[in-house]
C-alpha cells in the first residue's frame, strides 16, 4: 500500500466523533431551595443565572452517570477501537480504586487503559489534552473522554451561597485518530494551574465546600479569557473567527464577562446554566450535547471552549464542529434520561 499522503506519527490529530450526556431526572428549582434556605429566586438568578439544577439520588453514582453519557457517545461513527478511557471527576465514588476502570468494564472495554483525572471544573479540558497526547503517541487509536460529577453533595447543606450553584451530571466524547484538516479535529489545548491560590475553592470533605466568591470571579474571568486567547492564537484563529463560545457553566455573570473580554457577542455564546447549574467536569460536554441537539451548534461552526476550576486550574481549546449524524446527537429527552 502506498503511504503517500498518510500522516506521520507526530502529525495525527484527535478528532471528535461521538458525543453524549446524561443528567439525573430529579429537578430542584430555586423555589425548592428558598423553602429551606435564607435566599430568594431573584437573589440566586441575579448572582448566578441559575433557575434549577439536576440532583442525583443516593442510588445514582458518578460511575452510573459516566456510563450513561459514554454509552450515548459510543453510538457515534467511531471507526477504530476505543483503547483508552479518561474520566475527569472531582467526585469519584471511592478513594481507591479509580472509577474509570469500572466504567470501562461496564462498557465492554475491559483491557483498555483507564484512569481518573482530577482538575476541578477544568477536568474535561485536561482530559481532552491527555487524550490528544495518547493519540499523538500512538498509545490509542480512539479515546473515550468523560466528565462526570456529583457536585451537589459538596456544599454545606445550609450554605445559601454555594448550595444553589451546583448540580450533577455527565458528558462524554469519543476522540479518534485523524488529521488536522478534518472537521472535529481538536486544536492546541492551552492549560495551566496556580496552586498558590488553591484555598480559593476547597472541599476537604463532602458537605464542607468553601469558595471565596469575589476572588474566584476575578481569577476565573481573567484565566478563562487569557486561555481562550492563547488557544485561538495557537489554532491560527482570530477571535472574530469564532462562531460559538462555549464557556464553563459556573456562573452566568462570569461567562458573560469572558465573552465581553473576548469581544464575542452574546448571540455566539452557548449557555445552559439556567437549567443545570454548575456540573463541574461535565459542564462543557453537557453544554455541547444540548447545543448540538437543539440546533445552536451545527457542522462547520468554529467553537472555542474555555474553563476554570479548583486547583486553581484553567484551559481552552478549539475545534470546527463535525457533521455527526442526527441519530447520534442526543435529544433533550435522552440528555435528561435518568432511567
Q: Which residues are catalytic?
A: 121, 248, 278
The grid coordinates of residue 87 equal 474520566
Cis peptide before 97 (omega within 30 of 0): yes
52 touches 28 (CB < 8 A): yes
The grid coordinates of residue 317 equal 481549546
Integer angstrom CA distances of residue 305 from 67, 96, 146, 312, 313: 24, 31, 16, 18, 14
Residue 128, phi-psi category: left (phi > 0), alpha (psi -120 to 50), beta (remainder):
alpha
CA distance 86 to 133: 12
DSSP string, 95-125: SSS-SHHHHHHHTT-TTSEEEEE--GGGHHH
16 touches 168 (CB < 8 A): no
Radius of gyration for the alpha carbons in the chain, expressed in angstroms and rounded: 19
Cβ contacts of 6 within 8 Å, gap of 6 or more? none
Q: Please, how many CA atoms are within 13 Å of residue 162, restricted to the half-sphere of its CB?
A: 21
110 touches 99 (CB < 8 A): no
Amino acid at each position: 500500500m502506498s503511504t503517500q499522503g498518510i500522516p506521520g506519527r507526530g502529525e495525527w490529530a484527535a478528532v471528535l466523533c461521538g458525543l453524549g450526556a446524561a443528567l439525573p431526572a430529579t429537578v430542584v428549582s430555586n423555589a425548592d431551595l428558598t423553602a429551606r434556605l435564607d435566599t430568594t429566586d431573584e437573589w440566586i438568578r441575579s448572582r448566578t443565572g441559575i433557575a434549577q439544577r439536576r440532583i442525583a439520588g443516593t442510588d445514582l453514582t458518578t460511575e452510573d452517570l459516566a456510563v450513561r453519557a459514554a454509552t450515548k457517545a459510543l453510538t457515534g461513527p467511531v471507526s477504530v477501537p476505543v483503547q483508552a478511557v479518561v474520566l475527569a471527576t472531582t467526585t469519584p465514588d471511592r478513594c481507591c480504586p479509580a472509577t474509570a476502570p469500572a466504567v470501562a468494564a461496564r462498557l465492554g472495554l475491559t483491557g483498555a487503559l483507564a484512569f481518573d483525572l482530577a482538575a476541578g471544573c477544568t477536568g474535561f479540558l485536561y482530559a481532552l489534552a491527555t487524550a490528544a497526547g495518547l493519540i499523538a503517541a500512538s498509545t490509542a487509536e480512539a479515546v473515550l473522554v468523560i466528565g462526570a460529577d456529583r457536585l451537589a453533595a459538596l456544599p454545606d447543606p445550609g450554605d445559601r451561597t454555594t448550595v444553589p450553584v451546583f448540580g450533577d451530571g455527565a458528558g462524554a466524547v469519543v476522540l479518534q485518530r485523524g488529521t488536522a484538516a478534518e472537521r472535529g479535529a481538536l486544536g492546541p489545548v492551552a492549560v495551566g494551574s496556580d496552586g498558590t491560590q488553591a484555598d480559593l475553592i476547597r472541599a476537604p470533605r463532602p458537605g464542607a465546600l468553601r469558595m471565596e466568591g469575589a476572588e474566584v470571579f476575578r481569577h476565573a474571568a481573567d484565566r478563562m479569557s487569557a486561555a481562550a486567547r492563547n488557544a485561538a492564537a495557537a489554532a491560527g484563529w482570530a477571535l472574530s473567527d469564532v462562531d460559538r463560545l462555549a464557556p464553563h457553566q459556573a456562573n452566568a455573570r462570569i461567562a458573560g464577562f469572558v465573552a465581553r473580554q473576548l469581544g464575542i457577542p452574546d448571540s455566539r455564546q452557548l449557555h445552559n446554566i439556567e437549567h443545570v447549574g454548575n456540573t463541574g467536569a461535565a459542564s462543557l460536554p453537557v453544554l455541547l450535547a444540548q447545543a448540538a441537539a437543539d440546533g445552536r451548534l451545527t457542522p462547520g461552526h468554529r467553537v472555542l471552549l474555555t474553563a476554570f476550576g479548583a486547583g486553581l486550574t484553567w484551559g481552552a481549546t478549539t475545534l470546527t464542529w463535525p457533521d455527526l449524524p442526527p441519530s447520534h446527537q442526543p435529544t433533550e429527552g435522552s440528555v435528561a434520561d435518568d432511567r
